[in-house]
Chain A
């Protein structure tokens, strides 16, 4: 699939559009259908499409696992942190009315932050899950290949087989 020019070009055109649509769904969720959950899944779909078309290795360079894990935790922290902020501002936990003087602006701010937290967590989790499953498949293939390789070659050859494992 990685060699098919039609799929590559179409994916390159589609991926930015999907990401932009995810942002629209994220920040327009107050007014139309959508919100954090949907936006997160759509954003993750862009990264999954990238991984499917251009290969898992390149997709992991675009969004490494380390940043993924930060995203997974940062979303939950942003959500919980909004609640703590409203407590510090003098209200109850997750009581957005305390955030600002104008009640409607306060609610808008609270909902925006909370939905962004949800979107961040959902997007990162979906990408993590996909990488975990897809990486599992390629990992098992690699193990099968290297055990077959190590079976055919003698002990000194195992060093070169380790190199092919890292490259694939």
Chain B
């Protein structure tokens, strides 16, 4: 019953934040609301015992993303352009949401040991993490050892994203620049 109350509170809070974010037109408020949404989602992940995901959501979603959005806001006007609600996308979004809600009924119970996701390789990971690898945090042993290739791929994706953003934003062009241009870029130019 206690867990139900916590879950209900978090879900209601998430919905309220989402609806307010839809209505609000000041971009600064919008950024703050998306940060609050991420933090509430992180709390929801903690309730679901996914502390590593909650950690990432709080640090990336609520922290760095908000700061990056704020840095972008300095380039933008204060208010969103007023626009009418487009009917076709709205209908499609509502229909997809209702289909997903229908599908929720077919999902196995939360924490069900017989669920398909716990049948395939998961038992091997859960036993092996303690017996073979000796790392108590199963998430770490799966992430860095069992699924080391995937994490290498993720790291390379982040690397590539940084290079792409630098190429677009930091102005590394072949055109000669004036001498006292922005500091920092001179180091790498």
Where the two chains meet, the residues of A that have a C-beta atom closer than 8 Å to any C-beta of B are 25, 29-38, 41-42, 44-45, 48, 52, 57, 60, 64-66, 69, 72-73, 75-76, 79-80, 83, 94, 96, 103-104, 107-108, 110-111, 114-115, 117-118, 121-122, 124-126, 128-140, 142, 162-163, 165-166
A-binding residues in B (CB < 8 A): 51-52, 54-56, 59-60, 63-64, 67-68, 71-72, 74-75, 132-137, 139-141, 143-145, 148-149, 151-152, 154-156, 158-159, 161-163, 165-166, 169-171, 178-185, 187-188
- A sample of 16 inter-chain contacts (CB < 8 A) reads A36-B144, A38-B55, A38-B59, A42-B59, A60-B184, A65-B185, A76-B159, A94-B148, A103-B132, A104-B132, A115-B140, A118-B154, A121-B155, A125-B158, A129-B68, A166-B181
Residues of A within 8 A of B179 (CB): 162
Instruction: Establish whether residues B133 and A48, one from each chain, have CB atoms under 8 Å apart when the complex forms.
Output: no
Distance in angstroms between the alpha carbons of A27 and B64 in the assembled complex: 21
CB-nearest residue of chain A relative to B179?
A: A162
Q: Given A65-B184, A126-B64, A162-B180: A137 and B155 within 8 A (CB)?
A: no
Given A79-B155, A94-B149, A135-B182, the answer on whether A34 and B55 have CB atoms closer than 8 Å is yes
Q: Within the assembled complex, what's the spacing in Å between the Cα atoms of A80 and B163?
A: 18
Do most interface residues of chain B lie in helix, strand or loop, or is the interface mixed?
helix
CA distance A44 to B59 in the complex (A): 10
- CA gap between A104 and B141 in the complex, in Å: 11
Nearest Cβ on chain B to A149's Cβ, whole angstroms: 13
B155 touches A33 (CB 8 A): no
Are B71's CB and A35's CB within 8 A?
no
Q: How far is the CA of A118 from the CA of B59 in the complex (A)?
A: 15
Q: Are A79 and B152 in contact, CB atoms less than 8 angstroms apart?
A: yes
In the bound complex, how far is the Cα of B144 from the Cα of A52, in angstroms? Answer: 33
Docked-complex contact A117 and B155, CB < 8 angstroms: yes
Q: Which residues of B contact A138 (CB under 8 A)?
A: 182
| CA distance in complex: A131, B159 (Å) | 16
Chain B residues with Cβ under 8 A from A110's Cβ?
144-145
CB atoms of B145 and A111 under 8 A apart: yes
Q: How far is the CB of A122 from chain B (nearest CB, A)?
A: 6
Residues of A within 8 A of B185 (CB): 65, 135
Contact A107/B159 with A41-B64, A137-B71 known, Cβ cut-off 8 Å: no
* Contact among A41, A103, A133, A165 with B169 in the assembled complex (CB-CB below 8 Å): A133
Partner pick for A107 among B75, B133, B155, B169, CB 8 A cutoff = B133
Kindly identify which residue among A31, A41, A64 contacts B184, using a CB–CB cutoff of 8 Å: A64
Are B72 and A41 in contact (CB-based, < 8 A)?
Answer: no
Contact B188 A66 (CB under 8 A): yes
Q: A76–B60 contact, CB under 8 A?
A: no
- Do residues A107 and B52 form an inter-chain contact, with CB atoms below 8 A? no
Cβ–Cβ contact B188 & A129, under 8 A? no
A132 and B165 contact, Cβ closer than 8 Å, known pairs A41-B63, A104-B134, A162-B178: yes
Q: Collect the chain A residues with CB atoms within 8 Å of residue B165's CB.
A: 128-129, 132
**Contact at A83–B180, with CB atoms within 8 Å?**
no
| Least distance between A148 CB and chain B CB atoms (Å) | 17
Given A35-B139, A107-B135, A129-B165: A60 in contact with B60 (beta carbons within 8 A): no
Residues of chain A within 8 A (CB-CB) of B143 are: 35
- 13 further contact pairs, Cβ within 8 A, besides A31-B135, A66-B187, A104-B133: A44-B64, A52-B67, A115-B140, A126-B64, A129-B165, A132-B166, A133-B72, A135-B182, A136-B75, A137-B71, A139-B171, A140-B75, A162-B178
